[in-house]
Amino acid sequence: MRSKATFWKTLIIGVAVIGLLSSCMSFPSERVSASRHPNLAEAQTFVQNAINKLSAAQMANEFDMNGHAGRAIQLLNQAYAEIKLAAEAANRQ
């Protein structure tokens, strides 16, 4: 059985990560238009699904992944934004 300190530490980390992820996980203004760029929009969907799976893995493992899952989420957020920039570049051509 876990100690109270471990429980509270896990709870606090969990709440902090969920708050951070929720702020990073919605990209309403950065969503690629599926009608103009269906492949890029689908790529964004795949990236978002990967972020969701990593978040679930973090919670299942009590965030004990030495920060690697969090770093992967950061990189996926960058990829999501780059996909939007790719669509904007295509729109200018």
pLDDT in tens, 13-65: 765 666 555 555 544 458 999 999 999 999 999 999 999 999 999 999 988 89
Integer Cα distance of 32 and 81 in angstroms: 10
Write the DSSP string, 23-82: HHH--GGGPPPTTT-HHHHHHHHHHHHHHHHHHHHHHHTTT-STTHHHHHHHHHHHHHHH
* Confidence band, pLDDT 50/70/90 cuts, at residue 73: very high
Structural domain boundaries in the chain: 4-92
The answer to whether 30 and 79 have CB atoms below 8 angstroms apart is no
